[in-house]
Amino acid sequence: MSKHQASHFATQAIHAGYNPIQHQGALTPPIQISSTYAFESVQQGGAAFQGDNDRFIYARLGSPSQHILERRLAELEKAEAALATASGIGAITSAIWSFLKPGDELIADLSLYGCTYSFLEHGLKQFGVEVTYLNLTDASTLINHISDKTKMVYSETPTNPNMRLVDIAALAEITRQYDCKLMIDNTYCTPYLQNPLSLGADLVVHSATKYLGGHGDLIAGFVAGTQEDIDHIRMVGLKDMTGAVISGFDVSLLLRGLKTLHVRMDRHCQNAQQVAEYLSTSDYVKHIFYPGLENCSQKTLANKQMRLPGGMIAFELNASREQSAQFVNALKMILCAVSLGDAETLVQHPASMTHSTYTEEELLEHLISPTLIRLSVGLEHIGDILFDLDQAFESVFSADRELTISA
């Protein structure tokens, strides 16, 4: 059999960046918890600080096990390099702080993860960076606004929590005409379903807490891009500004989670497709947002840039805001919790939970309906997931109750 470089996602997720023979045959990479690393001489240490050798210096800059993880993440995202961080917001803030200064503009999509929005509002704006929110599902809105002062365009796709898609390639075609970086949050899709860098993005960020870890037992994030950009983020945004350093134990948990990512994502997508089809036939559901449905308005774009439609579903109930919260409370097996991508099916009511700090006007401005439900479809048997949804609908909207149609 001829030797060749492994190129399939499943193989990379299990093997990339690690050779057991180089570690006394240990099948699993060792956990590195050392905070500092010794040198053989002052000269060797000096060379390390100058970047003239590849010796590890201090855990804030990386460790042997973190290096393995970062090589694997870079392979999966088809990037030159990656940087692992202590959280998803740690990756986002470390990257953004590294490239923006007072007077610059960042353009973001209207719909964002709540903590990302809070960082832009409470962090960047207070330090003199202009933040503009646009509906980036229509690339022409960016064409009409971008200027020489725009240094970064930021978007999720699909967006949290309402599952809107942006055309990564179309945005990249615009940003590359300016001195402007395009950063895409790929948390919902994972590298298994979508590779923003291959579509023209400059940076891709993840909350690795979600699907990449997959078991609800770690907090981590990562950013990937060119070697030059990642080196800059490591030495500026991470080292000097956020200090969002991933722990050795979380490195190990994340390496473990990556090994089953492709298997889990296939099942997440399979279950989500069936749940979406069930919801699309319900009289209690006003709108459903899932790119796997044939009547999804953005299905063509989904097919273009996503390999599968994912495990996340958003839907608006044909009800009041209060009844929407009651529906979440009526679920029994499905757990009311923030986060996503775990083995368990998780549900939340954004207007009452993750985006509860928004005013009513801000909810509407950022396209978040007060009856919107976000569902992270897990790995349970599909029959049990559907049964729980069905009983919750019946509990809240039973025949002896008058269905309230929201205005």
Q: Is the pLDDT of residue 22 over 80?
A: yes
> Can you give the three-state secondary structure of 331-387, one letter per residue?
CCCCEECCCCCCCCCEEECCCCCCCCCCCHHHHHHCCCCCCEEEEECCCCCHHHHHH
What digits encode the pLDDT tens for the residues 210-246? 999 999 999 999 999 999 999 999 999 999 999 999 9
CATH fold of 9-30+61-259 = Aspartate Aminotransferase; domain 2 (3.40.640)
- pLDDT at position 354 is 81
Q: Is the pLDDT of residue 165 over 80?
A: yes
**Alpha-carbon span 298 to 304, nearest angstrom:** 10
The 8-class DSSP code of residue 239 comes to I
Q: Show me where the domains of the chain are located.
A: 9-30+61-259, 261-396
Distances in Å between the Cα of 6 and the Cα atoms of 12, 16, 75, 76, 260 are 7, 9, 11, 12, 17
- pLDDT at position 219 is 98
List of E strands, 1-119? 81-85, 105-109
Residues 339, 209 contacting (CB under 8 angstroms): yes
What digits encode the pLDDT tens for the residues 321-359? 999 999 999 999 999 999 999 999 999 999 999 888 788
Q: Is the pLDDT of residue 372 over 60?
A: yes
What digits encode the pLDDT tens for the residues 26-41? 999 999 999 999 999 9
- pLDDT at position 335 is 98
Considering only 112-116, 244-248, 359-363, 366-370, which range has the smallest mean pLDDT?
Answer: 359-363
Pairing, β 81-85 against β 221-225: antiparallel
Please name the residue that has the structure tokens 């509407």: 364
What digits encode the pLDDT tens for the residues 58-90? 999 999 999 999 999 999 999 999 999 999 999
**Alpha-carbon span 92 to 237, nearest angstrom:** 10
CATH fold of 261-396 = Aspartate Aminotransferase, domain 1 (3.90.1150)
- pLDDT at position 6 is 61
Which residue in the list 151, 164, 181, 210 is annotated as catalytic?
210
What values do phi and psi take at 205, rounded to 5? -120, 155
What DSSP element (H or E) covers 202?
Answer: none
What digits encode the pLDDT tens for the residues 300-321? 999 999 999 999 999 999 999 9
**Alpha-carbon span 153 to 166, nearest angstrom:** 12
Which residue in the list 55, 60, 256, 307 is annotated as catalytic?
60
Where do runs of H (alpha helix) occur along 176-226?
190-193
The 8-class DSSP code of residue 58 comes to B
What DSSP element (H or E) covers 106?
Answer: strand 105-109
Domain 9-30+61-259 matches domain 261-396 at the CATH topology level: no
**Alpha-carbon span 220 to 244, nearest angstrom:** 9
List of E strands, 113-261? 130-134, 150-156, 181-185, 203-207, 221-225
- Two structure tokens written together for 347: 């549900």
DSSP 3-state of 227: helix
Residues 321, 371 contacting (CB under 8 angstroms): yes
Q: Which position has the higher pLDDT, 348 or 51?
A: 348
Considering only 100-109, 239-248, 249-258, 357-366, which range has the smallest mean pLDDT?
Answer: 357-366
Is 113 one of the catalytic residues? yes
Distances in Å between the Cα of 216 and the Cα atoms of 89, 189, 213, 250 are 17, 17, 7, 12
Q: Is the pLDDT of residue 399 over 60?
A: no
Q: Is the pLDDT of residue 172 over 50?
A: yes
Which residue in the list 72, 109, 113, 164 is annotated as catalytic?
113
State the average pLDDT for the chain: 94
Percent of the chain with pLDDT over 70: 96
Q: Is the pLDDT of residue 3 over 70?
A: no
- pLDDT at position 7 is 80
